[in-house]
Chain A
Amino acid sequence: MSCLPPRFWPGLAATELWFDWEIDTWPLLMALLVAMSCGLLGAVFLVRRTALLGDAVSHSVLPGIAGGLLLAGIVLENNDHVFGASATMLFVLGGALAAGLASTMLIEALHKYSRIKPDTALGAVFPAFFAVGVILIRLAARDAHFDQDCVFYGSLEVIGELNQVIPTLACSILVVIFFLCFYKEILISSFDSQFAGTLGLPVGLVNLLLTSLLALAVVVAFEAVGAILVIALLIIPAATAQLISSRFDRVLLLSALFGLSAAFFGSWMTVLLEVVGFETARAPTVAVFAGLQFLLALVFSPAQGLLAQAWRKRALESRILEENLLGSIYRLSGGVSSQGFRLKEIAAPLGYPPGKLGGALRRCRARGELDVDRETFSLSARGRERIAGIIRGHRLWESYMIHEMGAASDHVHDAADYIEHHLQPGLVKELEELLGNPDLDPHGSEIPGAEGAGA
């Protein structure tokens, strides 16, 4: 039965490292469903730059949930067994929707009808609603209807049967159906709601449905992950997806996927941690895992990650160094001779210490752009071809600045020095046409021909 080497974990069975399906099936399913619907919805709100709406709704539905529970307790007292949990759920849902709506309207009113700024209105209304919710929950807990801790920790652990998962399942199915049916409307209204309006798309309806689904998702998530942790599932997978891709369909899919993976691996992590004696609640572990995914993406994302950015920056810096090195030799040689120069001589006009060019020198030599003769370096044909294009861009830009922008001829060099590394071939062509293909730059230096090494 044990497939792990006993010398690592003496007395440990493989089953302990994996889910115990008899206990874990429903909590895992619940976590997956909640994370998926939150991931999908959260991505839309993130793309719409209203990411904090999830924050808002999750804080402000608390009084609705608690109020609904209290009311259900009063109204359904005698016939609880007739309607059962579904009737209570309706009360809770109704209360949550009403509270969500009320808080949104109050925020709107506060900054519309007074000088209070929108962010202050947000920051004032959420905690106030939450405080009312906490008071109501205390009152509800007094009648022992309700476990206070679940507001914070969620209660994934206590989900033991299919019945408890059904509302969440229904909500997730609704969310998925909504996205399948209204994908186009969501897409267009997220990026250009005016355009969507002119197309005759039901923007208002889509927005209303989105917000209602958000409230619904927050309510069903409440039981699973608590009132505040749901923010993590709404924002973090969506932000992770946005770090990987900037296409709407991919962000949606990735966000749902990251939600699912956080739910799965987070749940698994709880099992594994329990084995090593680190017993934790399941919902926060899922949220922490989602955060872990985000931090990993922040560093390692191929498109936007810190490493990719650093790598691109480094590549650009080395290219600029190489181009400056070749350019310096080109200028020293007057653009024509294949005379060689010492490293010190090359570095001097650039204002670099010679050591700074070492790497660039090595790379240019490896690519055969430099000829080496004892201690001196000269441009090879290939190197001359590469640098002539850059010099051409530089000198065309100087002419452009003087002729078209009216800059003084002694003010253009630095700007051209900077831009020469970034001029695209298309732009150079445009400059040529605009300036009538000049042969000399404003300082009287020759502009190398378009076909490479010039004369």
Chain B
Amino acid sequence: MSFAELTGEFFLSLLGQGDAAQATINAILGACLAGLTCGALGSFIILRRMSLFADMLGHAVLPGVAVGFILAGSKSTPALLLGSLAAGLLAAALTRAITSYSPIKDDASLGITLSLFYAIGIWLLSWITRAGPELSSQSSGLNHYLFGNPAIIQTVDLVFLVSAAVVVLALLRLFFKELTASIFDPAFTVSIGLSPRIFDGLLLVLLTLVIVVSLKILGVILVAALLVIPPATAYLLTDRLGRMIALSAFLGALSGFGGVYLDFVFGIGVGPAIVCLAFLWLMTAFLASPHHGVLGRYLLQKKLELKTLRENLLTSAWRIGERGGELTAIPIGELASERGEEPSATRVLARRMNGSGWGRFEKDLLVLNSAGQERACALMRGHRLWEIFLQREASLAPDHVHAGAEEIEHFLDSETLLELEALLDNPETDPHGKTIPPGHSKGRTP
């Protein structure tokens, strides 16, 4: 069947009746719920620097699944959940014990617990699959806990997923302030009489709970991905914690839905598809996020470079004007000799003044309008005030202050200028004896 046909069938099956449709709907509900809950909780996890801990816990619940199965004698969901909850908490305790009582470092102890618990889980599973008919006949599908498989999601699993989502979201809402404080300012949390360890404990319990209910969808190895990748994506897109949580939960649910769809069409397995999709969002955000993406920051940097280049032309023009030249239209030749460049190079730069709103390049002249002249005046004033500041307040030698001022002139806003004026008593001349251009109240020509 073609891609389009399969897509059509996927959406038709959502409207249909019968077991197949029910299974697809269950899978979608399960995957979306898991994505939502993991995404919301994951925001706290990555900010609390517990990403690797979550990865460890994901692997470490496996023996709990196996033991739960052995004790219950069947794939009874509550037994498996209880088993994995116990295994997760035990693993957390072991990690803590290893770091507290031995010279082994944090990351190594995570690795030890992860591999030890995982090995025990696999060991027990290998026994279950080889054991006598009474166990192994029941055990088919236990492998789904390794890769995950939402096709086996039943109503009881959905009930657990919904309850976990409600509990997690309610607790996060209830302790939002405290959790935020304990993540961003542990010292403050202590000072208001709360121990950050309580909230670490809360996060640990919620983490185990979420991992356990999401296992059937993602499997032990991939479950941590949904706790780390959507929040990391959201972290690149917003600076506000509330929005980050909402965005991350949305991305998690979206990946869940998309994963079920991709599996339906391509048959590549739901868990891996969800993770790949989530990772795709992360890569997109990494490249294209407006503020924190590689592309966005590149554009921002280019914009800043252009502004600096234009402003440097303005200050050069001002210096020419100071020596009695014309400030409205500066010949490129004069500008080039002031800047110590070839006129051809200056011409290239001057062309980039077009579109700045300060002036334009015209008939081998740099023509400045009144806004450009005003900006040049402000830049020069800032430059020279800063030189005085460096000399008087930072005690630098007069011949060492130019470079610092050259850089900062582009970033001095009017408020800082006013402060500098007040601090320096409105000086008339700079350390090199040059006149400081007047502020806004007085005339603007040199």
**A residues near B, CB below 8 A?**
46, 49-52, 54-55, 59, 110, 113-117, 119-124, 126-128, 130-132, 134-135, 138-139, 149, 152-153, 226, 228-229, 231-232, 234-236, 239, 242-243, 246, 278-281, 283-285, 287-288, 290-291, 294, 298, 304, 306, 309
**Given A153-B122, A284-B122, are A130 and B222 neighbors across the interface (CB < 8 Å)?**
yes
A229 touches B104 (CB 8 A): no
Interface residues of B (CB under 8 A from A): 46, 49, 51-52, 54-55, 59, 98, 101-105, 107-112, 114-116, 118-120, 122-123, 125-127, 130-131, 143, 146-147, 221-222, 224-225, 227-229, 232, 235-236, 267-269, 271-276, 278-279, 282, 286, 289, 292-294, 297
Q: Are A231 and B114 in contact (CB under 8 A)?
A: yes
> Is A287 touching B229 in the complex (CB atoms < 8 A)?
no
Beyond A116-B235, A123-B52, whether A228 also contacts B221 by CB under 8 A is yes
Interface class of chain B by DSSP: helix
A279-B131, A298-B102, A306-B101 given; A235·B108 CB < 8 A: yes
Inter-chain contacts of A246 with B (CB < 8 A):
103
Asked if A124 contacts B229 (CB within 8 A), the reply is yes
Partner of A229 from B52, B115, B228 at Cβ < 8 Å: B115
B63 and chain A: residue at smallest CB distance: A288
User: What separation, in Å, do the CA atoms of A115 and B228 have in the docked complex?
Assistant: 14
The reply to whether B228 and A123 contact each other, CB–CB distance below 8 Å, is yes
The CA of A309 and the CA of B100, in the complex, are separated in Å by: 12
When the two chains form their complex, are residues B103 and A242 in contact, meaning their CB atoms are under 8 A apart?
A: yes
Q: Is the CB of B107 within 8 A of A231?
A: no
Q: A123–B292 contact, CB under 8 A?
A: no
Contact A288 B225 (CB under 8 A): no
Shortest A302–chain B CB gap in Å is 13
Q: Point out the residues of chain A lying under 8 angstroms from B108, CB to CB.
A: 46, 49, 51-52, 235, 239
* Closest B residue, CB atoms, query A54: B111
| Contacts known (A52-B111, A235-B111); A126 close to B55, Cβ less than 8 A | yes
Q: In the complex, what residues of A have CB within 8 A of residue B146's CB? A: 152
Contact of A309 among B51, B101, B222 (CB under 8 A): B101
Residues on A with beta carbons closer than 8 Å to the beta carbon of B107:
49-52
Interface centre among A131, A231, A232, A246 (most CB of B within 10 A): A131
The reply to whether B98 and A298 contact each other, CB–CB distance below 8 Å, is: yes
Measured CB to CB, the closest approach of chain A to B220, in angstroms, equals 9
Q: Are B275 and A131 in contact (CB under 8 A)?
A: yes
Are A114 and B294 closer than 8 Å at their CB atoms?
yes
Contact (A291, B122) CB under 8 Å given A124-B225, A239-B108, A242-B103? no
Give chain B residues whose Cβ lies under 8 Å from the Cβ of A239: 104, 108-109, 112
A131 touches B271 (CB 8 A): yes
If A110-B286, A114-B292, A132-B276 touch, does A123 touch B224 (CB 8 Å cutoff)?
yes
Cβ B52 vs Cβ A138 within 8 A: no
How far, in whole Å, are A127 and B114 apart by their CA atoms in the complex?
A: 14
Contact partner, B52, options A49, A119, A149, A298, Cβ 8 Å:
A119
Least CB distance, B49 to chain A, in whole angstroms:
6
Are B279 and A131 neighbours in the complex by a CB distance under 8 Å? Answer: yes
- B131 near A235 (CB under 8 angstroms)? no
Q: Which residue of B lies closest to A121 (CB)?
A: B232
Q: Choose from B52, B123, B125 the contact partner of A52 (Cβ within 8 Å).
A: B52
B272 close to A131 (CB less than 8 A): yes
Which residues from chain B contact A59 at a C-beta distance below 8 Å? Answer: 221
Contact of A278 among B127, B221, B269, B293 (CB under 8 A): B127
Q: Is the CB of A228 within 8 A of B118?
A: yes
How many Å lie between the Cα of A135 and that of B280 in the bound state?
Answer: 15
What 10 new A-B contacts, CB under 8 Å, besides A52-B107, A131-B272, A131-B279? A51-B108, A52-B111, A119-B49, A120-B51, A127-B229, A128-B276, A234-B115, A243-B103, A280-B127, A291-B115
Q: Pick from B115, B221, B236, B292: contact of A127, CB below 8 A.
A: B221
Residues of A with C-beta under 8 A to B115: 55, 228-229, 231-232, 234-236, 287, 291
Ordered by A's residue number, 22 sampled pairs between the chains whose C-beta atoms are within 8 Å are A110-B286, A113-B297, A114-B294, A119-B49, A119-B52, A120-B235, A123-B224, A127-B55, A127-B221, A127-B225, A128-B282, A131-B273, A132-B276, A134-B269, A139-B268, A234-B115, A236-B112, A243-B102, A243-B104, A279-B127, A281-B130, A288-B123
Chain B residues within an 8 Å CB radius of A229: 115, 118-119, 122
Please give the distance in Å from A197's CB to the nearest CB on chain B.
Answer: 24
B25 → A minimal CB distance (Å)? 24
**A130-B222, A288-B120 given; A51·B51 CB < 8 A:** no
A115 and B122 CA atoms in complex are apart in Å by 36
Task: Tell me if A114 and B286 are in contact (CB < 8 A).
Answer: yes
Inter-chain contacts of B236 with A (CB < 8 A): 114-116
Distance of B78 from chain A, by nearest CB (Å): 25
With both beta carbons as reference points, the residue of chain B lying nearest to A301 in the complex is identified as: B102
Docked CA distance A113–B286 (Å): 8
Bound form: Cα–Cα A239–B115 in Å? 12
| Alpha-carbon distance between A55 and B221 when the two chains are bound, in angstroms | 12
A228 touches B103 (CB 8 A): no
Q: B294–A280 contact, CB under 8 A?
A: no
A contact residues around B276 at 8 Å (CB):
128, 131-132, 135
Chain B residues, CB < 8 A from A130: 221-222, 275
Q: Could you say which of A115, A132, A290 contacts B235, with CB atoms under 8 Å apart? A: A115
Decide: A123 and B51 in contact? CB cutoff 8 A: yes
Residue of B nearest to A154 (CB): B122
**CA of A50 to CA of B52 in the docked complex: distance in angstroms?**
13
A280 to B136, CA, bound (A): 13
Known contacts A120-B46, A134-B269, A294-B116; A284/B126 CB under 8 A: yes
Complex: chain B residue closest to A303, CB-CB:
B103
What residues of B have a CB within 8 angstroms of the CB of A49 in the complex?
105, 107-108
Residues of B within 8 A of A51 (CB): 105, 107-108, 111
Q: How many Å from the CB of A434 to the closest CB on chain B?
A: 34
Separation of A59 and B55 alpha carbons in the complex (Å) = 12
Cβ of A287 and Cβ of B272 under 8 Å apart? no
**Top 5 closest A-B pairs, CB basis?**
A127-B225, A287-B119, A281-B126, A123-B51, A232-B115
Closest partner residue, chain B, to A233 (CB atom): B115
Known: A135-B276, A281-B122, A284-B122. A116 touches B232 (CB 8 A): yes
The interface residues of chain B lying within 8 Å CB-to-CB of A278 are 127
A236 to B294, CA, bound (A): 39
Residues of B within 8 A of A287 (CB): 115-116, 119, 122-123
| A-chain residues with CB within 8 Å of residue B297 when the two chains form the complex | 113
When distances are taken between beta carbons in the complex, the residues of chain B under 8 Å from A304 are 102-103
Chain A residues within an 8 Å CB radius of B54: 123
Inter-chain CA distance A127–B278, complex, in Å, is 11
